[in-house]
Amino acid sequence: MCDGVALDPIAAAEGTPLYVYSAATIAGRYRAIDEAFAGYPHAIHYALKANSTLAITRLLRGLGSSADANSGGEIDVALRAGFSPAQVVFTGVGKTTDELAHAIDLGVRMINVESAGELERVDTLSRERRVRTKIAIRINPDVDAKTHPHISTGLKINKFGIAIAAVPALCAHARGLAGVEVVGLHAHIGSQITDLDPLARAARSLVALASELAAAGTRIEHLDLGGGLGVSYDGSRVPTAQEYAAAVLPVVRESGLAIVLEPGRQIVAPAGALLTRVVDVKEAGGEKLFVVMDTGMTELIRPMLYNSFHRIEPVVERGAAPALCDVVGPLCESSDTLGKDRTLPRPEVGELYAVLDTGAYGSVMASNYNRRLLPAEVMVEDGKARVIRRRQTLDDVLALEL
């Protein structure tokens, strides 16, 4: 079930693989963050990269969220979902000149600048347009987020941000530039972080740097703490939004600066499930079975890319005897494994399964490898299921080809 609505008939009607989202879960998790920071000036800029299907983006806007966009495409999706440019923060390590010009023309709330070179580009583009663009400097605090190396961004070996030591001189230089105004400092040290200590340490670095800058004449307005707070994929206990706030608020409070947050996963990951049917069951040697699903790395690449764990459960309990299984996808590579060594009630061909907690970085990272078609997406809201994205057709795909 998803919020009291049975999944079996939805899968029968819409086919599989199929993403299903709970609007109530998204709302509840957004509010939990908002409430955790209530009483302190803060703005939540939902990180669209986690899931930017229009219906989800609109839902978050309706809840009062602002947006964090990582590309020109995400900026435009935010606008189409009804966000005003003033609600959009533009982040990202490789913003092209065209993307920067687009963001400046629109007048986004601010651009999180990732390098000295980008600062110059923003300044030049802004002066050409006779505007002054608000920017935040993304620092690299050299903090180990203790998450998977592929999604760790706050160490100096990572490509992100500017070394703290270089920021005071850069800000002094920026004060002489007519096209930019430094209004914030930004840090995002990684994703799926379940240890609050690195998050608090990054916040402390921002606060210390802000006071150093203030003493030198650059007065900023806010600290952008990024996203990164993890969720529980295996049922183990992870810090809540409340605990996260309790870890970073005391650190930031002394600065009196407003907080910007960019949560993605925290809001949408547990709100989504990927429904899939068993295509084949075959002997894997020994006691083990290969359970071949109709979904794989094309719809959910997280297990293959980060060795990440997602629970995989039958949608309907049949009471079958347990069997040791490797749950695999249909794609032509051995990395296409959704779950290794899982004990499942012995699966049957045609049976419906749910891959859980796939609302973040699931659908958005899907591909057409093997000429597979992007899955449909369904939202359950107020006791009803509705298609929010139809399944892609081969004609959709081939329409791009000349």
Q: Which helix or strand (DSSP H or E) is residue 381 part of?
A: strand 376-381
95 forms part of the interface with ligand LLP (CB under 6 A) = no
Among positions 30-69, residues that touch ligand LLP (CB under 6 A) are 47, 49-50, 68
Fill in the DSSP letter of residue 3. T
Note whether 266 binds ligand LLP by CB under 6 A. Answer: yes
Q: Does 300 engage in binding with ligand LLP (CB under 6 A)?
A: no
Q: Is 361 in the site for ligand LLP (CB under 6 A)?
A: yes
**Which residue, 10 or 244, is less far from ligand LLP as judged by CB?**
244
Q: Does 306 bind ligand LLP (CB under 6 A)?
A: yes
- β-strand pairing of 222-224 with 258-261: parallel
Question: In terms of DSSP bridges, do strands 376-381 and 384-389 run parallel, antiparallel, or are they unpaired?
Answer: antiparallel
Residue nearest to ligand LLP (CB): 227
Q: What is the rounded distance in angstroms from the CA atom of residue 167 to the CA atom of residue 220?
A: 13
Residue from the set 22, 66, 91, 152 that interacts with ligand LLP by CB under 6 A: 91
Can residue 357 be called a binding residue for ligand LLP (CB under 6 A)? no
d(CA 261, CA 188): 10
181 contacts 225 by C-beta, under 8 angstroms: no
Cβ neighbours, 10 Å, residue 229: 28
Q: Is 339 in the site for ligand LLP (CB under 6 A)?
A: no
Which residue is associated with the tokens 């993890």?
Answer: 230
If binding is defined by CB under 6 A, does position 264 make contact with ligand LLP?
yes
The reply on whether position 292 binds ligand LLP by CB under 6 A is no
Let me know if 171 is a catalytic residue: no
In the complex, the smallest distance separating the C-beta of residue 298 from ligand LLP, rounded to whole angstroms, is: 15
Sites for ligand LLP among residues 179-218 (CB under 6 A): 188, 191-192
Phi, psi of 62 (to 5 degrees): -60, -30
Binding to ligand LLP in span 217-236, by CB under 6 A:
226-228
Tokens of 384: 């009803």
Q: Is 386 helix (H, G, I), strand (E, B) or coil?
A: strand
Check residue 298 for interaction with ligand LLP (CB under 6 A).
no
Tell me if 114 contacts ligand LLP by CB under 6 A. no
From the list 2, 171, 325, 332, the catalytic residue is 332
> 91 or 298, CB closer to ligand LLP?
91
Q: How far apart are CA 46 and CA 83, in angstroms?
A: 11
Vertex 331: Cα angle to 327 and 334 (nearest 5): 65
Q: d(Cα 138, Cα 282) in Å, to the nearest integer?
A: 50
- Span from 96-104, 242-250, 256-264, 333-341 in contact with ligand LLP (CB under 6 A): 256-264
In terms of DSSP bridges, do strands 272-283 and 133-140 run parallel, antiparallel, or are they unpaired? unpaired
Residues annotated as catalytic are 332
Residues that bind ligand LLP in the complex, under the rule CB under 6 A:
47, 49-50, 68, 91, 151, 188, 191-192, 226-228, 262-266, 302, 306, 360-361
